[in-house]
Structure 1
């Protein structure tokens, strides 16, 4: 057995539930790696909605999708993830969040607890039974602890008869190592 790194495990969780034709969300497009990953999973009949508030992220994601010839499977949207309900009106099979800041960009532009909770609540309301939301929580930046704590409080209160919540982390790491919160809808 080999324990998977956080990002690898996030992808494993998503691979286990996403099939061709599914509707999925990349709530933080960033440099586009997760968007491409999701686009490969949903196939030609699926759809990925990728959100980011930074034009730099939108450009990087579009470039990466174009290089992989996957643009037709994706809607890359210059908007915060809290706007997901405005753009996604069909049932959602899976979503991924990489919380924190865009690597290689302005580190003062970070995800915020209020918008992340709005996005999470919105996606949860559209998540199908068997669907999964994977949140990679990077919190070693200004405001990161507040977002981490708000999310942990929110997910701890989700009804256990309808939703499973998993926390995956390496506890012997230094420097505020990222961890995963995975949310699975098990009942309506």
Structure 2
């Protein structure tokens, strides 16, 4: 692998998953990196829903999508990822991405929280089609990051192994709370 940063690592799996015409969700749009990738992979016939509660994230993502000449197959929603099930039907989504923590370059006091993130993951799992992929980049630290990390890891470890394959990786020799990459594949 050329780039071992968490975003490139996760995008490797996203590229393997998403096909033209797919429905995808960026549950935490941030600066639009995953939204742009999903838009390009899903293509003109696909659909991408992107969620964030910060107007700054929506504005950055709009700029990114235009700069990258992405197809206009996306809907940017200034709304909590908890509400994704309002916008997509059960078992219709190919890929859902999460980057838990705070907006890079944004207000660090505004970050994802364990309770709402777990509810969003639960909702997203119902939306995934069989064989669908959910990626989680769990960033910890700050006021709530450790709590969110610990509660999310407890939650995903308890997912039914007959329904979901959960692959948890770690940077074993990196200091200062490195991010934790997680892949969840819906088996049935």
Structure 1-normalised TM-score?
0.95
Structure-to-structure mapping, 1:36-115, within 5 angstroms? 36-70=36-70, 72-89=72-89, 91-115=92-116
Q: 1:92-116 CA distances to partner (integer Å, 9 max, x unpaired)?
A: 1111111100011110000001111
Distance in 2 between residues matched to 1:169 and 1:5, nearest whole Å? 12
Distance in 1 between residues matched to 2:2 and 2:77, nearest whole Å? 36
Q: 1:6-63 CA distances to partner (integer Å, 9 max, x unpaired)?
A: 2111001111111000001001111111110111110110011000000000011011
Over aligned residue pairs, what C-alpha RMSD do you find? 1.4
Q: Which runs of 4+ in 1 moved over 2 A?
A: 1-5, 67-71
Structure 2-normalised TM-score?
0.95
Map of 2:150 onto structure 1: 149
Map of 1:9 onto structure 2: 9
Instruction: For structure 2, list consecutive stretches of 5 or more residues without a partner in the other structure.
Output: none
Q: 1:122-157 CA distances to partner (integer Å, 9 max, x unpaired)?
A: 110111111110000100211111111111111111
Q: Mean Cα displacement is larger for which, 135-144 or 4-13?
A: 4-13
Distance in 2 between residues matched to 1:63 and 1:3, nearest whole Å? 25
Conserved in 1, the CA contact under 8 Å of 2:40 and 2:71? no
Map of 1:121 onto structure 2: 122
Instruction: For structure 1, list consecutive stretches of 5 or more residues without a partner in the other structure.
Output: none
Distance in 1 between residues matched to 2:7 and 2:72, nearest whole Å? 25
Any idea what SS the aligned residue of 1:173 has? Answer: coil
Could you tell me how far 1:89 is from its partner in structure 2?
2.5
